[in-house]
Amino acid sequence: MYNNKIMKFKIILVLTILFSISIVAGSLYTKKLVDELPSISNLENYTPSIVTRIFDRNERLITELFVERRVLVPLKDIPVDLQNAFLATEDNDFYEHWGISTKGILRAFVKNLLKGKVAQGGSTITQQLSKTIFLTAERTLTRKIKEVLLTIQLERQYTKEEILQLYINQIYFGAGGYGAESASRIYFGKSVRDLNLAECAMIAALPKAPNYYSPLRNPERATKRRALVLSRMRELGYITEEQEKEANEVPVPTEKHTQEQTSGHYFVEYLRILLEPKYGTNVLHKGGLTIYTTLDIKMQEAAEKALTEALDKFDQEHLSTFEKEGVEPKKVQGAIMAIDPKTGAIRVMVGGRDFKETKFNRAVQAKRQAGSSFKPFVYTAAIDTKQMTPATPLEDEQMVYLFDGTTWNLVSRKVSYIEVLAEKMTRDEVIDPMKIWYPVNYGGKYRGNVLLREALARSLNTCAIEVIDKIKPNTVIDYARKMGIKSPLTNTLSLALGSSDVTLQEMVSSFGTLASGGVRTEPYFITKVIDKDGKVLENNLPVEKEVLSPETSYVMTNLLQGVVKNGSGYAARQLGRPCAGKTGTSNDSVDAWFVGYTPQIVAGVWVGYDDRTSLGSKVTGGSLACPIWTTFMKEALKGYPTVDFTQPTNGIEWALIDPKTGLLALSKTPNAYLETFLEGTVPTMYCTQKNQYDEKVIAEEAEENEGY
């Protein structure tokens, strides 16, 4: 008997000790878990990943940058039907429990027991939120305990409304959508605040198994799941039986409504490259920025279409060339850039024909020889310094230059380089081939004496060399810099023929200086950046600087209009409105250019192969790039009024000119035309061709036209 009592005492003692140990161990374990929990106070600064939205100049959405596609909305903007749908489906005791629902756990336990498997969980909305934000998805007892502890803390620190708002904005709804706002846009193409009852039920039906119940994947399954949500809402008194019936009759969505980016890929990538160093990758892709840009998406789409169609056609036409040479056909590339000349705002940026194939942006990254499209810098310098006028006579003749070790010297204007070599050889003079230069015109034709206007319109190389030789390359470089060229430029006569590499953006911006009356505007692409809280992070305005007089700009514009009307830019006449521009073709037809403008838009087109293969001996900027420019501009300018370039109120004079001599013409001079001049540069002499007029008539008409 005594031994039995001793035995019972020992057992009770052991059990008491074990119980005490377990209590202590449990407390220590719980303390350890509590110490390991993330601080609930972090939720004060918690910002879920939010999409950055990028808009064009008319606030049309271009694209979204995101890791998780989410847009935050306050609870007041979330329909009551949607809130009730979540409560009915996920946690109908939400406003009654303290974070853990005893009813829910018991209900789930019974259902799971009856079905013999885990068919339903007992997690509350607060539990799901704590798990989603703070914990991993692992299924362990430790994680479950942490979840409960976090849930209790959340309920103590936040109101039910705050918890519900966080939950609705946090959870995943399938198809890449996080939060109810993104889900609403994806499935219904509208803001969450505009959802009807049927749509609210469909949204609330998704979180349990977003992919499984997705109406985009299985409409029938989604319809049944939505019906279950509506049934629960009716059972709990949130809706009537009639409302349930009407909502069930509405078809579920079967197409994704989210706007996927279809154009402007090069522009967005350019924007990303420039903004990431400023704001950081996390802020740009997760911070919910709103970025308003200068891009005009309609113009952008027109540019991409014009370029793609023209280059596809070019590839087809030149396919046989590659087949004859036995090499694999390659795709020609191209780029288009358009800027508002008054502000510098970038309206269009096409860096290639297919962003998926290559992200190399040929509008801003590629440097290519500009060819004759560089000549306007030469003539602008000559006009602005008043060393020449549009009526200055130039010699379009063969020319040969020899290098004496220091400078290039013109040795002949009448004979070919072969004849020069032959003459030197008769004197036993040896000439280094690298020290002889003989620029030629396209097609090898020469027209003798021409006026500067015709030389520019016909893009005569020898005349451009004559001009730069007179005013000096350094002068041309200074003007190119002032107008917007930033790339290195060679201090050589060949600069007049576009021998230096430049970018399309530089060329377009520089021509914009002429289009804006001599005011250079720095190209820019962002007007405003706003953070998720509505704070303006940057607000950009045009940066302007007057670098040319309005008068010089007007004279040059008038000359470049002549390129379109009577010269190499003839294809641009199809635009049907006043425009000015210049074609360009580099050596061996490697690059084809056209840069032109109206008073509203300045745009440039470049076409070429990335590996600098020739486009073909008959391909020029006028035949390839200019038609693309014209096609694009026709669409880009739809809705814009047809306006002419404005003449400055002072500083411009007009005079009737003889097209052969560049002198003042008389009334009977054949083909006389009106020419524009900077004030004080009009010719003072009259044409005196005796074979046309006697001296008396010349004198009389000269007196009559004295003040013309």
Phi-psi region of 639 (alpha: psi -120 to 50; beta: other; left: phi over 0): left
Choose among 523, 516, 520: nearest CA to 540.
Answer: 523
* Paired tokens of 435: 């020290």
pLDDT at 11 over 80: no
pLDDT at 404: 82
d(CA 325, CA 430): 38
Q: Which residue has the tokens 């979204």?
A: 64
- Domain 294-366+503-552+563-646: give its CATH code: 3.40.710.10
d(CA 302, CA 306): 6
Q: What is the mean pLDDT of the chain?
A: 86
Which segment of 40-49, 133-142, 179-188 scores lowest on mean pLDDT?
Answer: 133-142
CB atoms within 10 A of CB 464: 29
Active-site entry in 130, 184, 263, 372 = 372
Write the single-letter amino acid at 224.
Answer: K
CB 602 within 8 A of CB 596: yes
Q: What is the greatest pairwise CA distance in the chain?
A: 161
Show Cβ contacts of residue 393 under 8 Å, excluding neighbours closer than 6 positions: 449, 450, 451, 452, 661, 662
Choose among 523, 582, 519: nearest CA to 554.
Answer: 519
Known active-site residue 586: no
* Paired tokens of 281: 């990758």
Mean pLDDT of 418-439: 67
pLDDT at 114: 53
Active-site entry in 90, 147, 244, 701 = 90
The helix (run of H) or strand (run of E) holding residue 305 is helix 297-317
| Strand bridging mode 536-539 / 436-437 | unpaired
Q: Tell me the pLDDT tens digit for each residue of 392-421.
A: 999 999 898 888 888 888 887 766 656 666
d(CA 419, CA 107): 106
Q: Where are the domains of the chain?
A: 1-36, 75-248, 294-366+503-552+563-646, 652-704
pLDDT at 29: 43
Write the single-letter amino acid at 18.
Answer: L
CB atoms within 10 A of CB 65: 20
Write the single-letter amino acid at 97.
Answer: H
Residues in the chain: 708
What SS3 string covers 464-508?
HHHHHHHHCHHHHHHHHHHHCCCCCCCCCHHHHHCCCEECHHHHH
Choose among 206, 1, 190: nearest CA to 90.
Answer: 206
Choose among 377, 437, 405, 376: nearest CA to 587.
Answer: 437
The helix (run of H) or strand (run of E) holding residue 546 is strand 544-546
- C-alpha dihedral (240, 242, 245, 250), degrees to nearest 10: -100
Known active-site residue 372: yes
Q: Tell me the pLDDT tens digit for each residue of 266-276.
A: 999 999 999 99
- Give ∠ CA 5-6-12 in degrees, rounded to 5: 90
- Domain 75-248: give its CATH code: 1.10.3810.10
**CB half-sphere exposure, 216, CA atoms < 13 A:** 17
Show Cβ contacts of residue 243 under 8 Å, excluding neighbours closer than 6 positions: 197, 234
Choose among 57, 17, 127, 89: nearest CA to 294.
Answer: 57
CB 543 within 8 A of CB 524: yes
Show Cβ contacts of residue 637 under 8 Å, excluding neighbours closer than 6 positions: 575, 577, 598, 600, 601
pLDDT at 230 over 80: yes
Write the single-letter amino acid at 388.
Answer: M
Helix/strand/coil for 66? coil
Q: How far is CA 231 from CA 196, 220, 227, 238, in A?
A: 16, 17, 6, 10
Q: Tell me the pLDDT tens digit for each residue of 89-138.
A: 999 999 988 778 666 555 544 554 555 544 445 588 888 887 776 644 55
pLDDT at 28: 45
pLDDT at 430: 59
Q: Which residue has the tokens 């576009």?
A: 498
Q: Tell me the pLDDT tens digit for each residue of 667-687.
A: 888 999 999 999 999 999 998
Q: Tell me the pLDDT tens digit for each residue of 290-341.
A: 999 999 999 999 999 999 999 999 999 988 787 777 788 899 999 999 999 9
Pick 337 or 428 by higher pLDDT: 337
In which band, very low, low, confident or very high, does the pLDDT at 438 lie, cut at 50, 70 and 90? Answer: confident
In which band, very low, low, confident or very high, does the pLDDT at 696 lie, cut at 50, 70 and 90? Answer: very low
Show Cβ contacts of residue 71 under 8 Å, excluding neighbours closer than 6 positions: 50, 51, 53, 179, 181, 182, 185, 288
CB atoms within 10 A of CB 696: 8
pLDDT at 86: 95
d(CA 259, CA 242): 35
d(CA 146, CA 655): 91
Write the single-letter amino acid at 556.
Answer: M
- C-alpha dihedral (384, 389, 393, 397), degrees to nearest 10: 30
